[in-house]
Amino acid sequence: PPYIRTGDINTLQPEVKDWEPAMALDGGADGLDFYRKLIPVSGRFLKNNGIIMLELGAGQSADVADMLKASGYEEIEITKDYAGIERIIQATWKN
């Protein structure tokens, strides 16, 4: 999902910022706009015990985890990438 803060887009490598569509990068002022739209409705598309997995930007894991909890997800797990950044969040839908 687009998770890059609007103000950070110009700091990206040229091969990213100059070739990727803005809508694929720009996650709004704090990078969380996409998650605010997706998470509250995502349970409609999952069966009980279905799993959602999302890629994260640096420093976003706590906010996204809170959104998932507030929307009824459980068993939230965060995985770091090779650089030690919390990059993937996974949660289980319980309905």
- 52 in a domain, yes or no? yes
Do residues 64 and 87 touch, judged by C-beta distance below 8 A? no
Residue 80: CB atoms within 10 Å: 11
Q: What is the model's pLDDT at position 95?
A: 82
Domain containing 59 equals: 6-93
Is 88's pLDDT higher than 90? Answer: yes
Arithmetic mean of pLDDT, 17-33: 93
pTM to 2 decimal places = 0.90
Q: Which of 94, 59, 91, 64 is nearest to 75 (CA)?
A: 91
What CATH number does the domain containing 23 carry?
A: 3.40.50.150
Do residues 65 and 39 touch, judged by C-beta distance below 8 A? no
- 65 in a domain, yes or no? yes
If phi > 0 it is left, if psi is from -120 to 50 it is alpha, else beta; for residue 28 that is: left
- 1 in a domain, yes or no? no
- 40 in a domain, yes or no? yes
29-86 pLDDT, tens digit per residue, is 999 999 999 999 999 999 999 999 999 999 999 999 999 999 999 999 999 999 999 9
**Counted domains in the chain:** 1
CB contact set of 58 (below 8 Å; sequence gap of 6+): 85, 86
- 31 in a domain, yes or no? yes
